[in-house]
């Protein structure tokens, strides 16, 4: 089944650059088909996923990349579009005719119920190859929801930085605290080396800082909006309670109970 973005989306934009098929678009933006034709947006308010371009990351990752980075878990399988692994793999090949996607390519179907993604394992192996620099003052963690601490981002120093070996194209990652100019990293696949430049380190550092700020701001806006909506809801319910209490009083008192005193009419009253 394709992946769909639910109405809980906070428009943080974290998912869009992660999609290997460019199937995610901002609300109100037209989407482009593989043949180049443009189509009206599926949603005007929140980010949306084009089903015809979604492969649930089959052929690229062992889990949906959008769901992995979504801070509010609103990227979920669409029950209206059940699709097999073979169908999704075929779509990935059609969307990327320039790439060779083997039958045993990464797939969430192979990782159902599995543990943490295997991509994190090479990072642990690569760490010893990097000499630990002098300890720097840790950056404060990004603010998360008070009632959803599990959604907090890691510290900047702990963020895993992806590295692609120029020799064997193998992928691994290292924590940002080790990603410094002049530090030599060894590929765990072929022992090829990589030495980040100062511009590379500054580019990664700037991107991380901007994302942390954007993510934090989105959560703050979300909680402020939720607080206002809760206040408005409580006020509406209070007024509704008052109206019903008045209505209930009228219903309960419009007829006299048996035995209640009544005003006697005069002898000559008609």
pLDDT (tens digit, 9 = 90+) per residue, 197-226? 888 899 999 999 999 899 888 888 988 999
Mean pLDDT of 189-194: 88
pTM score over 0.85: no
- For residue 68, the surrounding DSSP H or E stretch is helix 65-69
Least confident segment among 2-11, 91-100, 196-205, 258-267: 258-267
Q: Residues 6 or more apart from 54 whose CB is under 8 A from it?
A: 2, 3, 21, 23
> Using one digit for the tens of pLDDT, what is the confidence trace for 7-48?
889 888 889 999 999 999 999 899 998 888 899 999 998 999
* Burial class of residue 69 in the structure, from the number of CB atoms within 10 Å of its CB (0-12 exposed, 13-18 middle, 19+ buried): middle
Using alpha carbons, list the distances in angstroms from residue 96 to 60, 99, 126.
11, 6, 30
């Amino acid at each position: 089944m394709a992946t769909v973005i639910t109405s809980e989306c906070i428009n943080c934009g974290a998912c869009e650059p992660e999609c290997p098929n460019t199937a995610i678009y901002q609300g109100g933006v037209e989407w482009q088909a593989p043949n180049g034709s443009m189509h009206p947006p599926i949603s005007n308010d929140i980010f949306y996923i084009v089903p015809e371009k979604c492969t649930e990351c089959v052929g690229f990752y062992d889990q949906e990349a959008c769901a992995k980075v979504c801070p509010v878990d609103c990227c979920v399988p669409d029950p209206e579009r059940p699709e097999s692994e073979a169908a999704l793999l075929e779509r990935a090949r059609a969307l990327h005719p320039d790439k060779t996607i083997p039958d045993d390519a990464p797939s969430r179907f192979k990782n159902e119920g599995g543990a943490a993604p295997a991509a994190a394992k090479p990072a642990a192996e690569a760490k010893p190859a990097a000499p630990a620099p002098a300890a720097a003052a840790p950056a404060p963690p990004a603010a998360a929801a008070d009632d959803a601490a599990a959604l907090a981002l890691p510290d900047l120093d702990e963020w895993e930085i992806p590295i692609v070996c120029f020799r064997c194209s193998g992928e691994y990652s290292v924590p940002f605290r080790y990603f410094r100019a002049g530090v030599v990293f060894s590929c765990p696949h072929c022992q090829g080396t990589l030495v980040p430049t100062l511009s590379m380190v500054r580019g990664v550092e700037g991107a991380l800082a901007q994302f942390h700020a954007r993510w934090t701001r989105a959560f703050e806006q979300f909680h402020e909006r939720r607080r206002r909506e809760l206040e408005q809801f409580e006020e509406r319910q209070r007024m509704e309670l008052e109206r019903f209490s008045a209505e209930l009083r009228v219903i309960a008192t419009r007829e006299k109970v048996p035995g209640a005193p009544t005003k006697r009419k005069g002898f000559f009253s008609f």
